[in-house]
Amino acid sequence: MTDKEIKLPFPTPPIWKLLNIEVIEMFRGYGRLVMPFHKKLTQPYGIVHGGAIFSLADSAVAIAIATVVEPKTKFVTVEMKINFLKLVKEGVMEAKARVLKVGRVIPAEAEVFNNDKLVAKAIATSIILDENNRF
Amino acid sequence: MTDKEIKLPFPTPPIWKLLNIEVIEMFRGYGRLVMPFHKKLTQPYGIVHGGAIFSLADSAVAIAIATVVEPKTKFVTVEMKINFLKLVKEGVMEAKARVLKVGRVIPAEAEVFNNDKLVAKAIATSIILDENNRF
Amino acid sequence: MTDKEIKLPFPTPPIWKLLNIEVIEMFRGYGRLVMPFHKKLTQPYGIVHGGAIFSLADSAVAIAIATVVEPKTKFVTVEMKINFLKLVKEGVMEAKARVLKVGRVIPAEAEVFNNDKLVAKAIATSIILDENNRF
Amino acid sequence: MTDKEIKLPFPTPPIWKLLNIEVIEMFRGYGRLVMPFHKKLTQPYGIVHGGAIFSLADSAVAIAIATVVEPKTKFVTVEMKINFLKLVKEGVMEAKARVLKVGRVIPAEAEVFNNDKLVAKAIATSIILDENNRF
């Protein structure tokens, strides 16, 4: 199943095209996204740059949150912390995000896997924007 | 002054080319990098995706750390936390990173500005890889 | 100057008495608090437990925020991240906190010093409670 | 089962006595600790101060890590990030910590429950001290 078949809760983000991020699965409070290894994502040691992995994890969080808020509700990540556990040099990265609490402030967590091993873990806080698109 | 004139402490990371990240200034314990706004970096609201800002901040941290370790010493970010303070919709993002302590474990902080306003703040922890390139 | 002379923006928190935390200075967007070393705050190696240092830093953040919100406005820390840079074995710990942005969501940072050396650095996110004391 | 019956991997930390923290369960890579609500742990709204919850979570992480390192190996938390999800006003807080990866750098996570609800979630990074007790 690819995101061509999954109806995204928002237009495809341009950065997803840049990084080749795709939604694989989503249901209430949960999102699973993938990003294949590509040389363009790497830092000088040939490993995937932390920023690419963060982007994938943050995107998974956004999908998970989009499933628990009203349609067209806008929200943004106000902070995220990520621990990198293993270096990624090949294969596909898969992020699984889960909403920890529904409310005005929405904490969520994400785990990133590569070859079935946990390579990163993140906790994020998002907030619903007010009527002026502010937070 | 551009990074064409600055001698980088490591080969230009492929992801810097993807995101258009460039080093502007570096001295012992400090790095300043820029990344111009581009639509390809955005999420659906037209604002720069947090992952792009994280990538810039993390790259600034790497430059700052590279100035305090022995040449050819390899290190990786083991974790980073970033707070997003303002949405970025245009202009240039500038990250200033500073090493907080030199050692086997290297904490550093980074601030990201846009139009002279603080838009993100991060704290990271890096570690020097061992002889087997492990951490 | 001690907190007996400083008019606190809220009643003295019971945990401050437990940990001997005291406000030394406060002005708009800023708070400076101290906590003396005491054996009761330590972990098994005789160093101050990270939780005590976190408590001091979080308290400094609360004082800094209290100076920028309306009187009687209630707010809570929704998340905080702290890096420990040096072990603390004696003396006084001093935390300096600074609001990074005023709004519904309030990011702040805190630095903790011991013998004039930076021993910890934190970034926190607080939120103003709604009329039902929820966040 | 109380920690009187559980053989702790290190002497009881003085701060555990101060906060009434106790180990309930431990096995390889895992620790479960409790801390009962007490007014002394609160901030001005009558809720448990984040620093007390952080202390419990960090202590749980330490127990979990102690189960995976060699006896007498010293380690410290170099950083921890915690999200507070619900206010705690009564009852017992229970922290469950789990090592995410064994190595020189040891990431771990902790969840804190109160009345069977998740009230906080943390990710930490610890490091094994070198022969000079440095990190």
pLDDT digits (tens, 9 = 90+) for A18-56: 999 999 999 999 999 999 999 999 999 999 999 999 999
A125 and C125: CB-CB below 8 Å?
yes
* CA B74 to each of CA A43, A44, B59, C95: distance values in angstroms, whole numbers, following the listed order: 12, 10, 14, 33
Other CB atoms within 10 Å distance of the CB of residue B51: 30
Other CB atoms within 10 Å distance of the CB of residue C24: 18
Residues of D in contact with A86 (CB under 8 A): 101
Calculate how close chain C gets to D24, using CA atoms only, in Å. 18
Half-sphere exposure of D89 (CA within 13 A, CB side): 6
Q: Which 3 state secondary structure label does DSSP give D16?
A: helix
> Residue D2: pLDDT band by 50, 70, 90 thresholds?
low
Q: Which 3 state secondary structure label does DSSP give C23?
A: strand
C78 and A125: CB-CB below 8 Å?
yes
Are C19 and C41 within 8 A, CB to CB?
A: yes
The chain A residue lying nearest B10, using CA atoms, is: A44
Does domain C14-128 correspond to CATH entry 3.30.450.20? no
Mutate one of C61, C104, C109, C134 to test the A interface: name it (highest A CB count within 10 A).
Answer: C104
Residue B35 CB-density burial (10 A; 0-12 exposed, 13-18 middle, 19+ buried): buried
Are A109 and A95 within 8 A, CB to CB?
A: no
Mutate one of B16, B18, B69 to test the A interface: name it (highest A CB count within 10 A).
Answer: B18
> Residue A1: pLDDT band by 50, 70, 90 thresholds?
very low
The pLDDT of residue A8 is 93
Whether the predicted pLDDT of A127 surpasses 80: yes
In this predicted model, what pLDDT tens digit does every residue of B71-120 receive, in sequence order? 889 999 999 999 999 999 999 999 999 999 999 999 999 999 999 999 99
The set of residues, in sequence order, having a beta carbon less than 8 Å from that of A3 and lying 6+ positions away, is A12, A22, A23, A24
Whether the predicted pLDDT of A2 surpasses 90: no
Structure token digits, residue B119: 């838009």
Residue D8 CB-density burial (10 A; 0-12 exposed, 13-18 middle, 19+ buried): middle
The pLDDT of residue A93 is 98
> Residue C132: pLDDT band by 50, 70, 90 thresholds?
confident
Whole-number percent of chain B with pLDDT over 90: 89
Identify the CA nearest to A88 among candidates A61, A54, A60, A122: A54
> Residue B36: pLDDT band by 50, 70, 90 thresholds?
very high
In this predicted model, what pLDDT tens digit does every residue of D6-20 receive, in sequence order? 899 999 999 999 999
Containing B62, the helix (H) or strand (E) segment is: helix B50-66
Are C75 and C117 within 8 A, CB to CB?
A: no
Report CA A23 to chain centroid distance, whole Å. Answer: 9
φ, ψ dihedrals at A59, nearest 5°: -65, -35
The pLDDT of residue C93 is 98
> When comparing pLDDT for B69 and C6, which is higher?
B69
B78 and D105: CB-CB below 8 Å?
yes
Identify the CA nearest to B84 among candidates B54, B116, B124, B43: B54
C84 and D84: CB-CB below 8 Å?
no
In this predicted model, what pLDDT tens digit does every residue of D30-71 receive, in sequence order? 999 999 999 999 999 999 999 999 999 999 999 999 999 998
d(CA D88, CA B1): 53
d(CA B34, CA B112): 9
* CA B71 to each of CA B13, B16, B68, B74, B131: distance values in angstroms, whole numbers, following the listed order: 17, 21, 9, 9, 14
Residues of C in contact with B107 (CB under 8 A): 83, 85, 121
Mutate one of C61, C76, C79 to test the A interface: name it (highest A CB count within 10 A).
Answer: C79
The pLDDT of residue B19 is 98
Q: Which chains touch C (3 or more CB pairs under 8 A)?
A: A, B, D
Q: Where are the beta strands (DSSP E) in D4-104?
A: 22-27, 30-36, 75-84, 92-99
Q: A78 at the C interface (CB within 8 A)?
A: yes
Model's pTM, two decimal places? 0.96
CB-defined contacts B:D, below 8 A: 33
The pLDDT of residue C130 is 85
Whether the predicted pLDDT of D1 surpasses 50: no
C55 and D78: CB-CB below 8 Å?
no
The pLDDT of residue D76 is 96
Are D48 and C18 within 8 A, CB to CB?
A: no
| C67 residue type, one letter | T
Q: Which 3 state secondary structure label does DSSP give C79?
A: strand
In this predicted model, what pLDDT tens digit does every residue of D82-134 receive, in sequence order? 999 999 999 999 999 999 999 999 999 999 999 999 999 999 999 999 888 88
Q: D80 at the B interface (CB within 8 A)?
A: no
The set of residues, in sequence order, having a beta carbon less than 8 Å from that of A5 and lying 6+ positions away, is none
Q: D30 at the C interface (CB within 8 A)?
A: no
Q: C81 at the A interface (CB within 8 A)?
A: yes
Whether the predicted pLDDT of A100 surpasses 50: yes
φ, ψ dihedrals at A16, nearest 5°: -65, -35
Report CA A10 to chain centroid distance, whole Å. Answer: 14
Are D122 and D80 within 8 A, CB to CB?
A: yes
Q: C83 at the B interface (CB within 8 A)?
A: yes
Closest in C86, C101, C123 to B123, CB measured: C123
DSSP single-letter state for residue B48: B
Q: B118 at the C interface (CB within 8 A)?
A: yes
Q: C117 at the B interface (CB within 8 A)?
A: no
Q: Which chains touch B (3 or more CB pairs under 8 A)?
A: A, C, D
d(CA B106, CA D94): 32
Q: Which chains touch D (3 or more CB pairs under 8 A)?
A: A, B, C
Q: B123 at the C interface (CB within 8 A)?
A: yes
The chain A residue lying nearest D104, using CA atoms, is: A85
D121 and A101: CB-CB below 8 Å?
no
CB-defined contacts A:C, below 8 A: 33
The set of residues, in sequence order, having a beta carbon less than 8 Å from that of B8 and lying 6+ positions away, is B23, B63
Q: D117 at the C interface (CB within 8 A)?
A: no
Calculate how close chain A gets to C111, using CA atoms only, in Å. 19
In this predicted model, what pLDDT tens digit does every residue of A51-96 receive, in sequence order? 999 999 999 999 999 999 998 899 999 999 999 999 999 999 999 9
Mean pLDDT of chain C, nearest integer: 95
